[in-house]
């Protein structure tokens, strides 16, 4: 594959000085081994970043590095993944090496294929995979210049890759201006913020020394008289480009004297404008077109030029003035300051005319829309509609930052306040779904006060609550939402029932996470009844169940199968237009299934959500579904799968700033580790959960973390600590009942049976409303351990046929212990043997050990499954990869499943084999056994 070192040399100057910086870069090149490195060159415009990058690129090429390059471009238009396309262009012929899902995602993102919106994580992994392939035989030098002007989607992808160069021999060198700004169209977290969030080596380029400055000026303009040279040195302040350009335009010292108060950037722009002034009038008009569309190809520019009565001949004087250079089908400005100088010096009328010509000549509808928008000086609803269509197309490629930018601009030129608010509210929800918490929050705050339309107000409420629930963003209180519902009801109190129900269902969903005082919950219930009447459909049922589970459980259980089918067909089908209410509907339905204590139905719901949001390219919502599925899998005894889901949800949540998702996922990991007896990992995960949530830990999060801490204490026979922790878990209504068996066991062991009996009486009175086999098992097991007639309660617990395999095994263990104590040895062995098999199958080692010990006490040699001890050394991700490989999947197929590159799969397997004591993948099935 050919080397691709195309660093923009049109604006560079000879390398003078920079010995220290160049030596540091050479050290970084020498350090590139199995893993990579990221370095950022920062400095003012003209300070020599491009020159240094070029020098490093030449050294890298001499050392056998392959090269790739792209540039950020300051422009009034934006196109998602534009710079990424430039960077990867030399590699796109090798797309076939990528896993199928990652390949499709990248092809759609780059506009090379059509398909559903790609997951941003898959686009990042595909980019990483291409770089890994490119670096398989030779190390790679990647130069990304003017990173502050990267399109936002490219910046996010490069940041993703930069954090994962552990096993890839790549030196990624970025340049960024310290005196510039981020992308003009990005009002949230800009490219510069994204780049600075990467762990990297930062090299700051300062001014040249006086001796180095004089050397450069003498080399470039040896004929300058001493006084003029001294003035150039003084005015340039050690900036290499200023030294060259001011020396070029200075015929005597009076040429510089009037500009002495200007900053260096402004002086350089004036120096470039001196060359522009010498162009013929037609050349200046053509140069303005180039400055207005620096991302355009030569053919596109010439099409626009022809419409303006200009031709290729008008480009020649611009080239001779060294203001532009041709590179294939690209017209490269000599330096970004040429663009800002020419564009800034043009009158408003001239800029508008240039953009109108470019819009009319553009063959790409998105470029046309952006140029048309740049020509709007007041309001233009037709152009705003075109930008809204551009946003839809950008979102279809998962260029969500560009989709949001298009809606922002469309809102700005909308004549209607209603249209403006609708577009900004839509942008806020798109940003939230993409995981851009900061931008979504800013948009909600911007539009909240001016929104009047019921649908817009409803969407804003949904977005705000989701931000609070997933990222702890301070937002509207439940009282605020109730006030909004009253506002939506209008003077008659009966208007907008559907919108009111959506807000109320959202508030009820938030109640499950935050908890509410009884009086506020009652106000919500009355508001739901007012909006829904006698029925109200799915939204009303969700709200009612979440606010009063026992009262509406029978209706919910009866309707659940049909509701799951309805949601799948009405909300999640690929044929249905994407709706902002989808996450709310699935989360509400999932929490409803849990509130009526049906974990099997909850698993169906969360499975549905994970599948849909992964396919839809909405990683933030997918992470939420994954963390919920992980918790249900723990309850159902699928502990290993739960660890995989929770680990991935925590990684995505952390990457996207979704603190709540990450904190919940860590708490679930703690629960799963506790079941497996990995107490230290469980405690570490609890520490992670606390650190992620900070001081804003939610009621339900505290309850779940306390439950996990109680399990660890039970493992370690710290019975008082277990009682204390599990008592704290009673703060949340669902967790209170699901942790009942653990609380009872802690009470029995700590001698607190009298204190747990009132809890059991309340649970016993409650359970009849739910007709839940899971709840029946837990309540009857607890009653058997603390009350009269234990045999009857144990029988009722087992007859319930709970889907929670480990809880059933716990019941059998407790029953077997009781049977052994009452000397019914044969019956005890049956129960204990069944419990042991279930614990062994799930890898629940502490409980399996207890069951085995009881069996030995009952005079039976326990038939233990081969203890999966080697698996304890595997991470959750390694275990998942090992299982998929054992099932016969290729590395590429595995990569699409677990969100890593296919070469990373190979690296993991290389680490897995010695941990399992094997040498190849054909031995994996035997090594994993029942796993």
Q: Helices 902-916 and 876-886 meet at what angle, rounded to 10?
A: 90
Identify the pLDDT of residue 182: 46
Backbone Cα Rg of the chain: 33
Structure tokens belonging to residue 903? 């070469």
Q: Are 240 and 13 in contact (CB under 8 A)?
A: yes
Find, among 460, 462, 430, the residue nearest to 446 by Cα.
460
Identify the pLDDT of residue 433: 80
Q: What is the pTM of this model?
A: 0.77
Identify the pLDDT of residue 9: 42
**String of DSSP letters for 62-75:** HTT-EEEEEE----
SS3 call for 785: helix
Identify the pLDDT of residue 785: 94
Taking CA atoms, 233 is separated from 177, 267, 831, in Å, by 22, 13, 91
The residues of the chain scoring below 70 in pLDDT are 1-13, 76, 179-189, 250-264, 573-581, 617, 695-697, 864-872, 930-931
CA 160 – CA 153 distance, rounded (Å): 11
Q: Are 391 and 403 in contact (CB under 8 A)?
A: yes
Identify the pLDDT of residue 8: 43
Which residues fall within 8 angstroms of residue 690, CB to CB, at 6 or more apart?
Answer: 663, 697, 705
The count of residues in the chain is 931
Neighbours of 106 (CB within 10 A): 28
**String of DSSP letters for 871-882:** GGGS-HHHHHHH
Neighbours of 479 (CB within 10 A): 11
**String of DSSP letters for 386-446:** HHHHHHHHHHHTT-HHHHHHHHHHHHHT-S-HHHHHHHHHHHHHHHHHTT-HHHHHHHHHH
Identify the pLDDT of residue 876: 74
Find, among 212, 232, 288, 265, the residue nearest to 22 by Cα.
212
Mean pLDDT of the chain: 87
Find, among 352, 211, 335, the residue nearest to 289 by Cα.
352
Strand partners, 143: 69, 173
């Amino acid at each position: 594959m050919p080397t691709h070192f195309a660093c923009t040399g049109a604006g560079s100057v000879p390398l003078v000085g920079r010995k220290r910086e160049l030596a540091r870069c050479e050290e970084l090149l020498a350090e590139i081994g199995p893993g990579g490195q990221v370095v950022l060159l920062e400095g003012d415009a003209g300070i020599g970043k491009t020159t240094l990058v070029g020098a490093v690129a030449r050294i890298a090429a001499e050392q056998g590095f392959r090269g790739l390059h792209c540039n950020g471009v300051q422009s009034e238009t934006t196109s998602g993944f534009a710079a990424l396309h430039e960077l990867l262009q030399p590699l796109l012929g090798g797309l076939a090496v990528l896993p199928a899902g990652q390949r499709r995602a990248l092809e759609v993102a780059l506009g090379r294929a059509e398909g559903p919106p790609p997951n941003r994580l898959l686009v990042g992994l595909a980019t990483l995979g291409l770089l890994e392939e490119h670096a398989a035989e030779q190390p790679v030098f990647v130069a990304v210049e003017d990173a502050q002007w990267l399109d936002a989607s490219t910046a996010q992808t490069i940041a993703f890759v930069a954090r994962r160069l552990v096993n890839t021999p790549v030196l990624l060198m970025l340049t960024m201006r310290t005196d510039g700004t981020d992308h003009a169209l990005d009002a949230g977290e800009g490219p510069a913020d994204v780049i600075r969030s990467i762990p990297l080596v930062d090299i700051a380029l300062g001014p040249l020394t006086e001796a180095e400055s004089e050397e450069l000026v003498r080399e470039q303009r040896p004929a300058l008289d001493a006084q003029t040279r001294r003035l150039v040195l003084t005015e340039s302040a050690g900036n290499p480009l200023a030294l060259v350009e001011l020396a070029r335009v200075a015929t005597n010292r009076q040429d510089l004297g009037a500009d002495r108060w200007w900053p260096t950037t402004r002086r350089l722009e004036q120096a470039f404008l001196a060359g522009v002034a010498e162009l013929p009038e037609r050349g200046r008009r053509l140069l303005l077109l180039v400055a207005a569309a620096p991302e355009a190809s030569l053919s596109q520019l010439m099409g626009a030029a022809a419409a303006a009565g200009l031709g290729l001949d008008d480009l020649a004087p611009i080239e001779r003035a060294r203001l532009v250079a041709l590179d294939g089908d690209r017209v490269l400005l000599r330096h970004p300051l040429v663009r800002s100088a020419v564009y800034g010096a043009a009158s408003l009328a001239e800029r508008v005319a240039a953009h109108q010509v470019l819009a009319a000549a553009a063959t790409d509808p998105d470029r046309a829309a952006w140029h048309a928008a740049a020509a709007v000086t007041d309001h233009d609803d037709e152009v705003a509609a075109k930008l809204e269509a551009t946003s839809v197309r950008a979102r279809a490629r998962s260029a969500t930052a560009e989709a949001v930018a298009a809606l922002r601009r469309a809102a700005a030129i909308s004549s209607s306040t209603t249209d403006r608010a609708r577009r900004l509210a839509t942008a806020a929800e798109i940003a939230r779904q993409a995981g851009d918490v900061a931008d979504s929050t800013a948009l909600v705050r911007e539009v909240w006060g001016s929104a009047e339309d019921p649908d817009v107000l409803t969407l804003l409420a949904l977005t705000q609550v989701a931000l609070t629930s997933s990222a702890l963003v301070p937002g509207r209180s439940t009282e605020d939402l109730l006030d909004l519902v009253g506002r939506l009801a209008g003077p008659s109190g009966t208007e907008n029932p559907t919108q009111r129900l959506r807000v109320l269902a959202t508030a009820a969903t938030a109640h499950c996470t935050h908890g509410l005082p009884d009086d506020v919950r009652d106000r919500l219930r009355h508001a739901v009844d007012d909006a829904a009447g006698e029925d109200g459909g799915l939204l009303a049922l969700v709200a009612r169940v979440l606010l009063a589970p026992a009262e509406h459980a029978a209706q919910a259980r009866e309707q659940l199968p049909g509701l799951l089918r309805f949601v799948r067909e009405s909300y999640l089908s690929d044929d249905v237009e994407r709706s902002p209410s989808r996450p709310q509907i699935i989360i509400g339905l999932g929490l409803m299934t849990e509130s009526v204590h049906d974990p099997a139905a909850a698993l169906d719901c969360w499975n549905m959500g994970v599948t849909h949001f992964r396919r839809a390219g909405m990683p933030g919502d997918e992470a939420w579904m994954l963390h919920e599925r992980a918790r249900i899998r723990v309850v159902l005894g699928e502990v290993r799968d739960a660890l995989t889901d929770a680990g991935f949800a925590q990684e995505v949540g952390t990457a996207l700033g979704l603190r709540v998702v990450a904190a919940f996922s860590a708490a679930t990991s703690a629960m799963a580790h506790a079941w497996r007896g990995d107490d230290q990992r469980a405690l570490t995960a609890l520490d992670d959960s606390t650190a992620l949530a900070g001081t804003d830990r939610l009621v339900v999060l505290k309850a779940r973390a306390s439950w996990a801490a109680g399990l660890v204490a039970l493992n370690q026979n710290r019975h008082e600590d277990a009682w204390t922790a599990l008592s704290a878990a009673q703060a949340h209504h669902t967790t209170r009942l699901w942790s009942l068996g653990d609380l009872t066991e802690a009470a029995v062991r700590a001698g607190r049976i009298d204190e747990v009996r009132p809890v059991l009486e309340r649970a016993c009175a409650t359970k009849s409303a739910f007709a839940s086999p899971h709840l029946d098992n837990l309540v009857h097991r607890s009653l058997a351990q603390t009350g009269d007639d234990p045999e009857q309660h144990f029988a009722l617990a087992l007859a319930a046929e709970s889907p929670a395999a480990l809880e059933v095994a716990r019941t059998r263990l407790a029953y077997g212990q009781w049977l052994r104590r009452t000397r019914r040895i044969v019956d005890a062995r049956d129960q204990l043997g069944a419990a042991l098999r279930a614990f062994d199958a799930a890898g629940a080692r502490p409980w399996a050990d207890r069951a085995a010990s009881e069996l030995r006490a009952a005079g039976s040699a326990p038939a233990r499954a081969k203890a999966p001890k080697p698996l304890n050394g595997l991470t959750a991700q390694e275990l998942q990869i090992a299982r998929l490989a054992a099932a016969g999947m290729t590395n590429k197929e595995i990569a699409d499943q677990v969100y890593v590159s296919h070469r990373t799969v190979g690296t993991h397997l290389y680490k897995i084999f010695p941990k399992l004591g094997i040498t190849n993948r054909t031995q994996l099935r035997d090594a994993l056994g029942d796993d």
